[in-house]
Amino acid sequence: MQQPPDLPLTHDLVLIGGGHTHALFLRQWGMRPLPGARVTLIAPGPTAAYSGMLPGFAAGHYARDELDIDLIRLARFAGARIVLGAAQGIDLNTRHVILPDRPPIAFDVCSVDVGITSDMPALPGFAEHAMPAKPLGRFAARWHAFLQRPEPPLVAVLGAGVAGAELAMAMAYALRDRDAKVTLIDRSDALETIGPGARQRILHHMQDLGIAVLTQCDVTAITKRAIQLADGRTVKANFVAGAAGARPHDWLAETGLALHNGFISVNAALQSSDPSVFAVGDCAHLTRSPRPKAGVYAVRQAPVLFDNICATLSDGAMRPYHAQTDYLKLISLGGKSALAERFGIPLSGSMMWRWKDHIDRKFMNRFRDLPVMGLADLPAVHTTGLAEAMGNKPMCGGCGAKVGKRALDDVLATLPTGRRDDITPLPGDDAALLHTGGARQVMTSDHLRAMVEDPVVMTRIAAVHALGDIWAMGADPQAATVTLILPRLSEPMQQRMLLEIMQAANSVMNDAGAQIVGGHTSVGSELTIGFTLTGLCPKPPITLAGGQPGDALILTKPLGSGVLMAAEMAGQAKGTWIAGALELMTQAQGMASRLLGQAHAMTDITGFGLAGHLQGLCAASGTGARLNPEAIPLMDGALEMARTGVRSTLFTANRSLVPTLPEGGAADLLFDPQTAGGLLAAVAAKDADATLKQLCAAGYPAARIGELTHGPVQLSLTTGG
């Protein structure tokens, strides 16, 4: 649920970490946001794994994606911006969260839910030859690859707490049909945190699974094939997993907050020693009622955190969190069997597994069954044509919000031609060629309606997008002015957003060799970021008009940003797809432009899609073109979304530009508007392979996608080649 557009934002709430408490907080915020507050989620990645289902995944009961909470989709539902990165610190004096590779993020109220980390990587050989159970993504990939290996599996799990025992039993079950050996190792006794009855049952079950349990053993080193113990023994292992050594993150010690053994001390209201900073989950220590680190506490803290943060932001009354004295423990036993324990009474069997499976799936479904954002209802009485003008879905941002090419061309055709002799018209190109004191200079302007909530990422996309017109002409970026429309914000938040935007813009422009020399700001209904740029041409610019029949067509970025952002806005895209798309959209094309400096013709693929921009190149060059659709690179998830009928709002206008091409599925992506898309270059066929090799070596996912043909101006598809 988005904030009402007519209310200004006055306070910044920053959530550090995508733990279970924050995930539940965002779900509740999406259903009942506090007007005037902007929420920012800082998370290391686009998903957060639910640890309760990790053993079931290792045993083969769950698919990998069943374990993930999609934080990007959840943030969209909550109307929050998401920043992908791991926090490195909190500056209480300036009220800033410190992250790598971006400006600090200011807050009025902050909450920390970063969980715990492991000290196992400090163990000699662990980083090279072992794998912690968290983060789940890396562990899952390594475990999947290990299961495919033909050699006899020799598995060791370090840490004989409940988590380590569950993981060992799951792995033993997954390897039950192979000549496997699983060893559980701990410096203390096994399963110390549960009652004696449950402990004995699990130990007997591990014995039945053939798991060797070694306790009171110190590990001194890990090698490629073995684990060295302090008493001189060696345990053979070709897969070592770490489920021990849990400790607080190091950076918490530098915050100045009161800590208990490195964890943030919080009162009954979940506030730290600084009342504006809350802490929840495993990274927090409950000073009045200390409890063990367990997910059940994190889940029950969520509604209290929600109420108390809202109270802090609105001068309301706080309420205390009351932690239960004991809780139900459900422990996976490898197969579809589990053990339940509460108040020292253990019960085990398949019924307990079904119970645990039901609880886990119910928890995860809370993040999958999110309402999809739709259009507001029209007034009962309205003008004719209003429903058709509104369309049947929210308007896209980025290049999906552009005016269609035909409408634009019709208007431009009515304007008189220029009369200055120091300007050379370049029909079809987005930049003009100026002659200033003997120098060749190109100039262009572009702006984007925001399509992501994070102004830093949006600024990077807008800057790369605007620079594309300069790079497409083979020019060197020179000077830039910035045009900003900010949403309604309080004065402190205006300053914060301006600082983030300008620092991000300055970084991109400096890296491109350009300098920001001025600009203009105003306030409107939503964030819009634009740039006017000049570039210097050390040689004649590369235009649309130089393509020759037989030239190879090289594309430097995959297609799909339009359909993916439309799917994300509708709550249909996976967060990992969106994270990948944003990374591609922020990839600068300066080096690609230099490597394509000998191209006969070049353009950047933006709002009119690959088909529309290629048709413009063909029209200017007097050629046709043949595309190999199988060679065209696509962003992850783009084809899946296109096949389900997801389209950007500009699709229909783009499709009408080239009606001869087929429609549906992958063909639709030829008309997908791209934001900060790649360069499309017509290169002499003899140079194409070498140029493509150089582009790929420079980190561009480039591909040879077709060739120019003798006229007439027509696009066609072929296969192979």
Point out the residues that are catalytic.
Answer: 399
Alpha carbons 562 and 584: distance in angstroms, whole number: 13
Alpha carbons 23 and 43: distance in angstroms, whole number: 11
Q: Going along 573-718, which residue ranges are E strands? A: 601-604, 623-627, 679-683, 703-710, 715-717
Distances (CA, A) of 321 to 21, 257, 280, 328: 13, 20, 11, 19
Alpha carbons 218 and 185: distance in angstroms, whole number: 8
Residue whose C-alpha is closest to residue 289's, from 260, 247, 318 = 260
Alpha carbons 327 and 211: distance in angstroms, whole number: 28
Angle at CA 686, nearest 5°, toward 680 and 687? 50
Local structure of residue 544 (DSSP, 8 states): G
DSSP H helices, 570-684, are: 575-585, 590-595, 609-621, 638-643, 651-655
Q: CB neighbours of 618 closer than 8 A, spacing ≥ 6?
A: 547, 624, 625, 708, 713, 714, 715
Q: What is the largest CA-CA distance in the chain?
A: 93
Q: Going along 308-369, which residue ranges are E strands? A: 329-332, 338-342, 345-349
Residue whose C-alpha is closest to residue 117's, from 23, 246, 256 = 246
Alpha carbons 601 and 708: distance in angstroms, whole number: 11
Q: Give the relative orientation of helices 71-78 and 20-31 as an angle to the nearest 10 degrees.
A: 30
Distance of CA 158 to the CA centre of its chain: 31
Tokens for 678?
């790649």
* Contact indicator for 16, 296 with CB cutoff of 8 Å: no
First to last CA, the chain: 48
Contacts made by residues 166-169, CB under 8 angstroms, sequence distance 24+: 166/54, 166/55, 166/331, 166/332, 167/54, 167/55, 167/58, 167/133, 167/241, 167/243, 168/206, 168/211, 169/55, 169/59, 169/202, 169/205, 169/206, 169/209, 169/211, 169/332, 169/333, 169/334
Number of residues assigned to the chain = 721
* Contact indicator for 528, 485 with CB cutoff of 8 Å: yes
Alpha carbons 2 and 29: distance in angstroms, whole number: 10
Q: Which amino acid is at 394?
A: P
